[in-house]
Amino acid sequence: MAFPFKYVLAENEIQVALGRWVCARLPYDNIKSIHVTSVVLGATEKYPNFLPWPELGLQIKKKYSFIENFYITPENPQNFALELAEKARISDFTLQDPYEGKLISRIIKLLRIFAMTIVVLSLLAGVIALFFIANRIYRN
């Protein structure tokens, strides 16, 4: 499966590439901690791959930044977190989702389903409106 964002562990930084263009960089020396999670709270710079929302991703807390979190969704978050922790020499990382089974996780999953339902209904309403407009033009 092809994903729009590609996450590269370069020599000194994580690179987020969209096609061949690098759209974000995070130096290893700016990484405070790495966590596999399904919920990200607080100010976050997000580069998700799955639509509408991923089940699991990596929350990377920064040492020096106004936006404290960097969120990416590699294909295998646990393996990517291990590789990143080794390359960046980070000892503060978790591989299990701390929100799994908690109320906030369930609420957010319900909100995701609700938002996706609204998106699908909006698209359906747009298609129906286009059908009626085309039918009206064709009659005249």
The tens digit of pLDDT for each residue in 15-64 reads: 999 888 999 999 999 998 888 887 666 677 787 776 555 577 888 888 88
- Phi and psi at residue 74, to the nearest 5°: -70, 165
Over residues 52-109, the pLDDT tens digits come to 555 778 888 888 888 888 888 888 888 888 888 888 888 877 777 666 667 776 777 7
Cα distance between residue 94 and residue 7, in whole Å: 19
CB of 81 closer than 8 Å to CB of 91: no
pLDDT at 22: 92
Characterise 130 by phi-psi region: left (phi > 0), alpha (psi -120 to 50), beta (else): alpha
pLDDT at 111: 77
pLDDT at 58: 86
Q: Compute, in degrees rounded to 10, the torsion defined by CA atoms 22, 23, 27, 32.
A: -140
Cis status, amide bond into 48, omega within 30 of 0: no
| Token code pair at residue 28 | 């290893």
Q: Is the pLDDT of residue 119 over 60?
A: yes
Assigned fold of 1-98 = PH-domain like (2.30.29)
